[in-house]
Chain A
């Protein structure tokens, strides 16, 4: 291939990576250019508390999510107990529940004046001591319940595909099934467990909604306050840079924990070994454990939401809700379309040229999954502030060209969620053998026809998955929307934030319920794929 043929794809990949590159440059430059006095103020008054809070939160959430995810994955993958096949997919449902929804439901139900403590005091008397929900333990518990499905999913996949063979080998060497768990299955699943833990850590570092409901100060809430209470974008940029360093540290730890292990892809011939039957009390204990997690993580919150929503619907459900819903769907649709288009360009570019520049650009373009929304928001505003200055210098006037427009919001969404669309699209491209393209070209198809008659039909499922995932992620998204939306562009998630900020839990239930129902779609997709994989194995 000539160099001009390679240049095109490389340029396309770099163009797709531009938003992310611009945001990172803006954050690093803005933070390093900040006033030294500001830094010393931050160090004295904010940093110690916020950093400590963040570290405690991440460690606690990861530890509990790992324990829950790994144990539940082992129970549903390798053991048998009453209700096992139901729980094997039902335990994924908490994924549909954004952490901030779980958080306000927990606070509303368990706070001193909440329904549960009231009822308990009614039975046991007013002197009954109950652990306070608004505490470090409370916020850790909520985020762990929201995050454990990532670990569960990864661990279960590893146990099902790789565990069976290795466990049989262990059994033939004289190890019992429980010895097998700790000596074979868990060490074997280490790369996947590390990956699951990293996802939970990313989500926790990025969380804004849940911690603000608990008034638990972390970097994300500090960024928001620096900007909207202190009106200091420099402070916000400085905090954003520090948060990015935390993310980088978490990723580095994950790499180290994964070790040198690079296990081959699952051999499709692997069959699930005989499950360990848990009989009698042990079986029911397993059922009880799985039921408890399912109830706390999904069933009870969903019921509470439905009840409150039912109660407030007659007064609350008016024309404004149509507006919220339409805005949300419109934004999510635009973001999904933009992410899909860029993911297709990126996928096509990396397929046409595997050059080092193209690969690097693709990696940068998909960094968004790791960069918290609060960081992206300040980055986007800074970047667009600079471009607006350029426009004003050219055209004169005082106007804001891009800042505070829908474009700013979409830029943030694309930077954050391009990775979400990139995964399925890239997977779809990988499944199209190069000889198919050659066959089509040999039959006379040019580049455009190739896309229309070969790539798009074959990418079909991947494109659908990409659009769905981005759509739902944008619906749930809170910090970027909150910090960069144009005036009046309130989405369902913004409505949830505003109602919970006022402690008006019941009126936050209606928009939350809509978000949870939309969130069930990708989870359904995931469970269907999981079942198909299980059937194929």
Chain B
């Protein structure tokens, strides 16, 4: 069901945790709040679930006002499922009973059927009789998801769902979670500080910084057209070089004149910081432009080089790993940017 936040605000004493936050997540979509720790993303999630009271603003689910001036629906009546960071499985109940816990007002057979159906959906039908401590972290996580989905909630919230898991299982599990949410047609909102998780699972991502929403967009747009410097920095890797706008889609830099689609419509003559993603900077031995290798990180198929440009600013570049260059070496580069993102300097 559609989730809408209008000017949500939450303060703790003198600190503002969330400030006038507004966004809309349409029914059946998977949204993600992405931000560093302390950006207020978990506070938002707990306010939607009803575990925190907001100071101002409104929360609406499927048109019903859950919280707003003079209105506060307690968590047990919100019909919002939640998957906790520590999973919070009930230690005295087996996997099946955990999933069936929130199924009330239906007879035993129906409860069992629905709980079994969900365990099958998350691939744990064989583990129905196991107690939480007999399951691996990833399995507990999927039981927690099945438990949250079982009562067919209006919305499922996931709090840092993969943070307690090994890096190897994270991406795989993210795909399974996405598939399960899709199969149930659920609307879901997760919070994470890891952009790879966000990219793997979400249809739309909101980037939070110090309680404010910097941008709400599809992952691709977020990466290639960040609205603010913070989003550009936080989502993906990149560096900035100085430039002067010459006209629509043309910027003069120390690396020559770069042409592409300029996202920001700056008038000619504006001084800008131009965002360079590592894949915009191409290693080319034939190029006359030279840059000095100052750092290198071997990443298997490629090297990530940090290069010092003639002006002293640095830029990142992904280079196929057969181009093995030592620190201090000077290598030829050229730019191949299609999406130009510039922020006015000052």
Contacts and interface: CB of A to CB of B under 8 A. Distances in A.
A438 B75 CA distance: 8
Interface in B8-48: none
B259 to A, nearest CB: 52
Contacts of B223: none
A439 interface: yes
B102 A438 contact: no
Contact of B88 (A433, A445, A446, A460): A433
B82 A439 contact: yes
Contacts of B91: 458
B86 A438 contact: no
A446 B53 CA distance: 17
B49 A442 contact: yes
Interface in A398-440: 433, 435-436, 438-440
B102 A444 contact: yes
A457 B94 CA distance: 13
B77 A442 contact: no
Contacts of A528: none
Interface residues of A, number: 18
Contacts of B53: 2
A443 B82 CA distance: 8
Instruction: Name the prevailing secondary structure of the B interface residues.
Output: loop
A257 interface: no
Interface in A231-274: none
Contacts of B148: 442-443
A454 interface: yes
B155 to A, nearest CB: 11
Given A439-B88, A457-B92, A446 B82 contact: no
B88 A438 contact: yes
Contacts of B81: 442-443
Given A438-B49, A458-B92, A444 B86 contact: no
Given A433-B86, A436-B90, A454-B90, A444 B151 contact: yes
Contacts of A442: 49-50, 75-76, 78, 80-82, 102, 148
Contacts of B101: 440, 443, 453
A520 B50 CA distance: 48
A311 interface: no
Given A438-B49, A438-B51, A458-B92, A443 B151 contact: yes
A433 B85 CA distance: 12
Given A438-B49, A438-B51, A444 B104 contact: yes
B187 to A, nearest CB: 15
A416 B203 CA distance: 61
A263 B249 CA distance: 66
B86 A441 contact: no
Contacts of A436: 88, 90
Nearest to A1: B53
Given A444-B76, A444-B104, A439 B92 contact: no
A444 B51 contact: no
A446 B51 CA distance: 13
A464 to B, nearest CB: 14
B79 A444 contact: yes
Interface in A442-501: 442-446, 453-454, 457-458, 460
B303 interface: no
A345 B1 CA distance: 39
B277 interface: no
- Of B76, B78, B86, the most chain A CB neighbours within 10 A belong to B76
A435 B92 contact: no
Contact of A443 (B50, B86, B92, B147): B147
A445 B76 CA distance: 5
B86 A435 contact: yes
A170 to B, nearest CB: 36
Contact of A439 (B79, B84, B104, B151): B84
A441 B88 contact: no
- Of A433, A442, A446, the most chain B CB neighbours within 10 A belong to A442
Question: Closest 3 interchain pairs by CB?
Answer: A443-B102, A435-B88, A439-B88
9 contacts: A435-B85, A436-B88, A441-B50, A442-B50, A442-B75, A442-B80, A445-B76, A457-B92, A458-B91
Given A441-B75, A458-B92, 15 more contacts: A2-B53, A435-B84, A436-B90, A438-B49, A438-B84, A438-B88, A439-B82, A439-B84, A440-B101, A442-B81, A443-B76, A443-B148, A444-B77, A446-B76, A458-B91
